[in-house]
Structure 1
């Protein structure tokens, strides 16, 4: 896309002591949900200094014309398996069972540290390109600490904000959290900062012995939150939630990913302990974790954030996440009403709330609401400008929230600031090493394809994998089964 005549160059913005965006639709996502139709946002250094109209600016401020565009907080993804991005689209026709078979039971251990690096690097670049300024790397393919080192190396190369969620689906969480190698990694690489946070990522199978207790105790000792796949059909269920609650490990910092097949009792336990859920509606609707859960979460006043899950199926696109969440929620609302012979005349979930889930909701879930998630003076300047004068879908902007959810797409992301630093401007990435990521991913694909052989490579994309390979859970580190979804 050609530069707009008279617009500042990217280098001018990067070198300026201050930047002001003029005359945009500003969705602040503050507590009052303030929205301006002709607003300015002033950024000084790494911080938002002022929001309003016709703002006065300090000397040397560079002006960006946001006319015809939407200014919003950087979006926040609370659950993305970034390491899988090198296999983008490979599993487009999979079910959840086939995903489990391929990654958990058959081929996940084949990924080398450099393959984790390649996926993370591409995923991190893709995130900021699409206006996602904070991403949780739900990194559950860390067979060794060397894999973890490679994952963090990639995150540190990209000028985004990340939370590294350490996990290993091939070993019990009570095992890898107890290893001296893991402890050494934490001490060496995880002195948490505003730009790189830390979580533990593991699931609770529901085994009455509750072996995961030891991993929760490590999380408590380290002072880090736990993020867990909960309410996933055939893998995690109400027994896991009950065990967490009975042992005192359900906290406000806990993020329950999917939460799609839980009972009223489990939802009430989550609500009572102040936890939040990460909804991946495209994933849940397509591969079978359960019906996208926002409609159930709303009934229990459980805070919601959004996520894209994995690029092995669909796009890592927060616009698609918002759109699919709103569509699934409304579809369920209509379905429930029709089943009772009723009709919905006023939808409960509005576009404004879904935009909030994609921004402020993520910040709250990650304990970062004081830092990011809204456009307010004093917060870090993680800001996205949606503006595309060459798109017939970007005008007129009458309902800005609805436009973000139903009309805009990643190609409309004009400018992205992370911590006040321009990482995308004029629809072009700045200093992200995309060519390097391409080479790394090409090498990973070549390696995995050679490891599998052409027959197995082709079979992996086919939906013919026998479901009998997965019984009650897909975890290779436990033989526990409770018969809740399959007869033994």
Structure 2
């Protein structure tokens, strides 16, 4: 049987590869890999997708997402601080059954694919039983998104002393089910326990297990000094991806950079959550590679374009503020100022993110030999913005502009419509979880808008 072939024709291709640069031309895909990028490519018998007038980018990566929270979308939109988050979102963990985990994770993946997010690092801190983990993995397999399933080590706060061993055992069990081929859509990772809840010995055991099995790790770095503490204990490494880390000090960033490490930022949630945002620029200057995530649909729209846009806006604002305070006004370009361009944000969401999940040699670029994950963006009736096409991607694109999505050489969306998934199925799955967990037929409808039964 001949290998499937796909030819993307005539697009403005942002390869994100320093040797290829931007190309007005074609991408040839054979099987799950890109085999050629250039102008005038031909491939007899290939499926052809017309990308003329459109922008082609590598598939977007979300490196910090709690997929199980998809049914709780908007439940923390009004939130003010951690207490609101725990009351409205996190406290519902133990109401989720394995069936709910399947529906939530499946729906999250469908929405992400629809929005051009081809890869997710699912920080699953709702593995309350082994079956919760199994159903989450099954959902990832069924929706076909490329995923790192980072199984959470933090369980019920009431059972922290008794539930650790089965979680460690479950990691080994799942690891035995996964291969080492980078082309596999599902990979196993480990979401290390928050250090404020588990003992140092328990955290050290988790990290040792992950390194024994060759798993990438991620963890919430919400409390100041934790990167320093991990380093002093000899535990910090470039195979660990801190999420948030807004409170990281410069010396911690320097150590992380020396290990080739990165940080996953969820800028929209962090910004409206009152966290300091200076760390993104400080990380970049220190040599730490930033990537981006949505974090939770309970707060934020599932939209990496939006995360790129707000990150660019925040970083430009903070640097302009520094210039004003140094009496350098009006703004003028000079070496190092401005620090970032819109294209830098696209690097965060593609090249950097691929490195963070351990697939930097296989994903994040549109170049021969790389896995064929890509997104075609339709600028719409008003046309493409002037200047660098990356500016249009970062500053003017929304999920609704995603015309085509390819994952592993398979067309998952074309002409603005999902090909083998149904958004309606995802919406129904979300409603099922809401009904079971919240006990309401229409939990999204605020009480004051519900119809009052006739007398």
Task: Tell me the TM-score normalised to structure 1 length.
Answer: 0.83
What is the aligned partner in structure 2 of residue 300 from structure 1? 286
Paired with 1:285 and 1:171, the residues of 2 have a C-alpha distance of: 28
Paired with 2:87 and 2:154, the residues of 1 have a C-alpha distance of: 12
- Distance change in 2, residues 1:261/1:17 (3 Å): same
Pairing 1:113–2:98 present: yes
Paired with 2:56 and 2:346, the residues of 1 have a C-alpha distance of: 12
CA contact (8 A) 1:19 1:44 kept: yes
Tell me the secondary structure at the aligned position of residue 400 of structure 2: helix
Pairing 1:309–2:291 present: no
Paired with 1:208 and 1:449, the residues of 2 have a C-alpha distance of: 29
Alpha-carbon offset, residue 403 of structure 1: 0.5
What is the aligned partner in structure 2 of residue 199 from structure 1? 189
What is the aligned partner in structure 1 of residue 453 from structure 2? none
What is the aligned partner in structure 1 of residue 373 from structure 2? 382
Pairing 1:182–2:170 present: yes
Deviations 1:188-238 (A, max 9, x none): 5444552111111134436896232222122222221210111x2xxx221
Tell me the secondary structure at the aligned position of residue 283 of structure 2: helix
Deviates more, 1:174-183 or 1:118-127: 174-183
- Distance change in 2, residues 1:401/1:176 (3 Å): farther
- What runs of 5+ residues in structure 1 fail to find an aligned partner? 1-14, 459-488
What is the aligned partner in structure 2 of residue 126 from structure 1? 111
What is the aligned partner in structure 1 of residue 11 from structure 2? 24
Tell me the secondary structure at the aligned position of residue 313 of structure 2: helix
Paired with 1:115 and 1:292, the residues of 2 have a C-alpha distance of: 37
Tell me the secondary structure at the aligned position of residue 178 of structure 1: helix
- Distance change in 2, residues 1:210/1:408 (3 Å): same
Q: How many correspondences in the alignment?
A: 432
- Distance change in 2, residues 1:152/1:386 (3 Å): same
Over the residues paired in the alignment, what is the CA RMSD in angstroms? 2.5
Pairing 1:446–2:435 present: yes
Alpha-carbon offset, residue 452 of structure 1: 13
Paired with 1:199 and 1:184, the residues of 2 have a C-alpha distance of: 11
CA contact (8 A) 2:434 2:440 kept: no
Paired with 1:89 and 1:289, the residues of 2 have a C-alpha distance of: 20
Pairing 1:370–2:361 present: yes
What is the aligned partner in structure 2 of residue 43 from structure 1? 29
Task: Tell me the TM-score normalised to structure 2 length.
Answer: 0.88
Pairing 1:336–2:325 present: no
Tell me the secondary structure at the aligned position of residue 137 of structure 1: strand
Question: 5 Å matches for 1:9-408?
Answer: 17-32=4-19, 34-36=21-23, 38-55=24-41, 57-97=42-82, 98-104=84-90, 106-171=91-156, 176-179=163-166, 181-183=169-171, 185-187=173-175, 189-193=177-181, 194-205=184-195, 210-211=200-201, 212-230=203-221, 232=222, 236-238=223-225, 240-291=226-277, 293-343=279-329, 344-346=331-333, 347-389=338-380, 391-392=381-382, 394-408=383-397
CA contact (8 A) 1:76 1:362 kept: yes
Paired with 1:89 and 1:111, the residues of 2 have a C-alpha distance of: 18
- Distance change in 2, residues 1:19/1:207 (3 Å): closer
Alpha-carbon offset, residue 258 of structure 1: 1.2
